A and B are shown apart, each in its own frame.
Chain A
Amino acid sequence: MIENFKINSKEIDKIKKISKTERDFRINNLNLFNEKGFPNKKQEDWKFSDLREIVQKNFKKLDVNKVNSKVKKINLIKDFHHNYIVIVNGELKSSNFSFEDKNRVRIKNFKNDNFLQKNKENSLVCLNHALSDKGYDVEIEANYKFKKALIIYNLFTKDLKENILNSRNKIKIGENSELHTIDLVINDSKYKFMNNVYENIILENNAVYKNICIQNDKNEGYFHKFSKSKLSSRSKYSAFIFPSGPKFNKLDLEFNLEGEDSECILQSASFLNKNDHQEIKTKMNHIAPSCKSYQKVKNVLGSDGKGVYQGKIYVKDIAQKTNAYQLSKALLLSDSSEFNSKPELEIYADDVKCSHGATSGNVDEDSIYYLMSRGLSRKESIKLLIDGFLNEVVDMIKSNSIKKFVKSKLESQIHGY
């Protein structure tokens, strides 16, 4: 069954200039992947997203070879001024920090120097560690606040067909610094391919990081991202996710609130349609006292859409005065749509306030009636209600120009319904 998807260790030899330790690390990870194969529903973390089945159904083979990553022209966003970096098929191509002090920002290709085997459970992470040789590494020095947002253009070229891309990225924000980024996916491939990303985010004391991840251009990609963040004292991390573009998308996000008074906010809105499968999995680890976390995940599911939310709040015994909140709401528009959630609490400290809520149901009939009695058609009423449901998240974005941009992206999806 999974034999077709085993990967030969020769692939690692193609990666140039690696030390013996690195080679061993990669071989070790490759063996772990080959042993386990793609994760399936027998693993608790993949209970609702059987990737093995999905891969077998949709792919005949997966090509790990390099693909042509030449791009002639990129249509930059003109709505607002911004810095940018361009990633093509996972590979860092160019960067532009024209609005910033260039001495305070460092950007380079990602080079791994940590060969400790930590994650053995997730075979996709193993696969990434074995094969990734691309990605970016951004570091912001201490005491520097970005003047304009940084847009990360993630381009996928039309040459992609049954490929699997593995890349690793890292963002480090120094003490008292601030960075706003927008992750944008632009896909030119009409074919199926896989994108497997491992991301590391480090916030030093007092750092602020705001990220908006926009993936909602519909495409045939199968995306998996594992992101691990470290939040030091008084740092703030705010993430907005609009992930509903790819055919399959799993975002596995781990936030470690390691410093006192750190704060993490995660908000997501997605509109899933026709066979889309999307999972957001979060793990909020409260390791230090007086930290705050807030999660709000909203899903609208059209015909055959399948949404999953697995959120866990973990509070260590020393993490007193924790305030953690988690909310998952889903609207099911069709009887063929499905929403599964597992909002989990694991708490070992007593002086905490932790709560979660999860709801799923259809659009409220009373509200539809109200709107129809004011002259809207049924379809218009439903669209308006969906709009309101998802915009609650978008409205939390502070910058008006960015908010407008995100809104237009989301609206085009809703209007397609």
Chain B
Amino acid sequence: MKNQNVNTNQEYKYGFTTDIENIRAPKGLNENSIKFISKIKKEPKWMLDWRLKAFNRLKNLKEPNWQKPKYPKINYQDLYYYSAPKSASEKPKSLDEVDPKLIETYKKLGIPLQEQKRLSGVAVDAVFDSVSVATTYKEELTKKGIIFCSISEAIREHPDLVKKYLGSVIPITDHYFATLNSAVFTDGSFVYIPPKVKCPMELSTYFRINASETGQFERTLIIADKGSYVSYLEGCTAPMRDENQLHAANVELVALDDAEIKYSTVQNWYPGDKNGVGGIYNFVTKRGACRGKNSKISWTQVETGSAITWKYPSCILQGDNSVGEFYSIAITNNHQKADTGTKMIHLGKNTKSKIISKGISAGKADNTYRGLVDIGKKALNSRNYTQCDSLLMGNKCGAHTVPYIKNKNSSSIVEHEATTSKINEEQLFYCNQRGLNQEEAVGLIVNGFCKEVLQQLPMEFAVEAQKLVGISLEGSVG
């Protein structure tokens, strides 16, 4: 399969020069663009109908405006909803053409040259080092019966699974951006773990080589069948260069009886320059359903990029004894704005949820934790613990906490605590005294502040994320 993908890429490489019209959807948000996407993805009719249903509903929807970060109006008719991967001629020829700031960051993160090229979008030969790695992984996964492919492929090859679960957690009747995604999503990942299988490795979009061009409307669907386990990594610690300003991804997780899904994200899209010009709008809908008994979904996120981040990875705890967890670090610097948090909806008995959120705000940034804990009437003996801490650096930034807590039965316990403060002068002094400069000291203290969340990340990710925390705050002290 992988080889096929590589070939497709190569085809486009040549296809560009001859017939440019064919690989770009007509401009604007209309039925034709959706039909075009569906056609180019060779989708069956039911999928197209599904998309059109979402699109019809979208016509009557308004963009939400209750959130704290405001953004300039997006002209949806001015966007292309599908364009094939760029040809080599359009991409930067070498690293010399890429923003030197970006290269500097890569160096600090210790990313190999080949990788640097791939991340910054420099045209590279289709022979990646990772291809061979990916193929070996693929074989091992197939042996266990695990399906891990692009969602377009899954629609064609595993229609029963997709039909059953797609839109079952985020229905097409959801809010504006989720519905928009349902209508026009271009690609994304699909994972199915069969019963009683423990996925032997951490799955990552990184190993799906065509993932770099999934576009702005990504759709991910992960299903963990009875008694299975999977850990999924999304994103990358290295900053990604991207042409699209609006990103509206949907991620759906389904955990059946005794299954566990661990979903980790490191988001480091382009945050705009120092004056807040440019940058990505990251409006993501992530939701997981603990359908089965004793199931567990755990979200971990490190959000350092994007001009505006707006997402609330949520857990619907339907099954009895199910567990939802949310660990988050959100770092905003310069003019970045983040409004993030979670929803824990307790429906089943003995359900438990835990929320740990760390917000760090520097420069002129605004950082908001917004969360909901809703314990239903029938969710007896449920338990929630929430802790959100904010750290402020400088008096031009803001840190906000907006929790909604609802408790509808007497046998459940809900606890919430939040603090806001700045870095302790004494701690800084202590570090300085031992020879660390101001920046290193801040990095160290902030890492300590985030420790509880960083610990939740898979090993390889955690090490890089730690470095990233320091880098994101550069220039915010002194």
Which of B90-98, B399-407, B434-442 has 4 or more CB atoms under 8 Å from chain A? B399-407
Q: Which of B355-407 contact A (CB under 8 A)?
A: 377, 380, 390, 392-407
Nearest-neighbour CB distance to chain B for A303, whole angstroms, equals: 10
Q: Is the CB of A360 within 8 A of B398?
A: no
Other-chain residue from A47, A332, A348, A355 in contact with B409 (beta carbon distance below 8 A)? A332
In the complex, A359 has a CB within 8 A of chain B: yes
In the complex, A7 has a CB within 8 A of chain B: no
Q: Is the CB of B422 within 8 A of A344?
A: no
What is the CA–CA distance of A338 and B422 in the complex, to the nearest angstrom?
Answer: 36
Other-chain residue from A338, A347, A353 in contact with B398 (beta carbon distance below 8 A)? A347
4 closest A-B pairs by CB: A361-B413, A350-B392, A332-B410, A345-B401
Q: Is the CB of A359 within 8 A of B408?
A: no
Residues of B within 8 A of A349 (CB): 392, 395
Number of interface residues of A (CB under 8 A): 37
Residues of B within 8 A of A346 (CB): 398, 400
A residues near B (Cβ < 8 Å) are 44, 47-48, 317-318, 320, 330, 332-335, 337-362
B residues near A (Cβ < 8 Å) are 66, 377, 380, 390, 392-422
What is the CA–CA distance of A342 and B421 in the complex, to the nearest angstrom?
Answer: 20
What is the CA–CA distance of A345 and B406 in the complex, to the nearest angstrom?
Answer: 18
What is the CA–CA distance of A350 and B233 in the complex, to the nearest angstrom?
Answer: 34
What is the CA–CA distance of A356 and B386 in the complex, to the nearest angstrom?
Answer: 11
What is the CA–CA distance of A44 and B402 in the complex, to the nearest angstrom?
Answer: 12
Q: Is the CB of B418 within 8 A of A356?
A: yes
Closest to A365 in B: B411
Closest to A359 in B: B415
Q: Is the CB of B414 within 8 A of A356?
A: no
15 contacts between A and B (CB under 8 A): A47-B404, A339-B405, A339-B407, A342-B404, A347-B390, A347-B398, A349-B395, A352-B421, A354-B419, A356-B416, A358-B415, A359-B413, A360-B405, A360-B407, A361-B414
- A339-B407, A340-B406, A352-B420 given as contacts; is B413 within 8 A of A360 (CB)? yes
Residues of B within 8 A of A345 (CB): 390, 399-402, 418, 420
What is the CA–CA distance of A361 and B417 in the complex, to the nearest angstrom?
Answer: 15
Contact residues of B: prevailing secondary structure? strand
Residues of A within 8 A of B404 (CB): 47, 340-342
Q: Is the CB of B420 within 8 A of A347?
A: yes
Nearest-neighbour CB distance to chain A for B180, whole angstroms, equals: 23
Other-chain residue from A352, A358, A362 in contact with B403 (beta carbon distance below 8 A)? A358
- A44-B66, A335-B409, A350-B393 given as contacts; is B414 within 8 A of A360 (CB)? yes
Q: Is the CB of B419 within 8 A of A355?
A: yes
- A335-B411, A341-B405, A358-B403 given as contacts; is B418 within 8 A of A348 (CB)? no
Residues of A within 8 A of B412 (CB): 360-361
Residues of A within 8 A of B397 (CB): 348, 350
Residues of A within 8 A of B393 (CB): 350
Max chain B CB contacts within 10 Å: which of A48, A320, A362? A362
- A351-B422, A352-B420, A359-B415 given as contacts; is B401 within 8 A of A340 (CB)? no
Other-chain residue from B398, B401, B422 in contact with A348 (beta carbon distance below 8 A)? B398
What is the CA–CA distance of A353 and B403 in the complex, to the nearest angstrom?
Answer: 18
Known: A347-B390, A360-B413. 13 other contacts (CB 8 A): A44-B66, A330-B407, A334-B410, A343-B416, A344-B402, A345-B400, A347-B400, A350-B393, A350-B395, A351-B422, A355-B420, A360-B412, A361-B410
Nearest-neighbour CB distance to chain B for A197, whole angstroms, equals: 28
Residues of B within 8 A of A338 (CB): 406-408
Nearest-neighbour CB distance to chain B for A176, whole angstroms, equals: 32
What is the CA–CA distance of A48 and B393 in the complex, to the nearest angstrom?
Answer: 34
What is the CA–CA distance of A340 and B414 in the complex, to the nearest angstrom?
Answer: 11
Nearest-neighbour CB distance to chain B for A327, whole angstroms, equals: 9
What is the CA–CA distance of A47 and B419 in the complex, to the nearest angstrom?
Answer: 24
Residues of B within 8 A of A333 (CB): 410
Residues of A within 8 A of B400 (CB): 344-347
Q: Is the CB of B395 within 8 A of A320?
A: yes
Nearest-neighbour CB distance to chain A for B385, whole angstroms, equals: 10
What is the CA–CA distance of A46 and B395 in the complex, to the nearest angstrom?
Answer: 32
Q: Is the CB of A359 within 8 A of B402?
A: no
What is the CA–CA distance of A149 and B377 in the complex, to the nearest angstrom?
Answer: 45
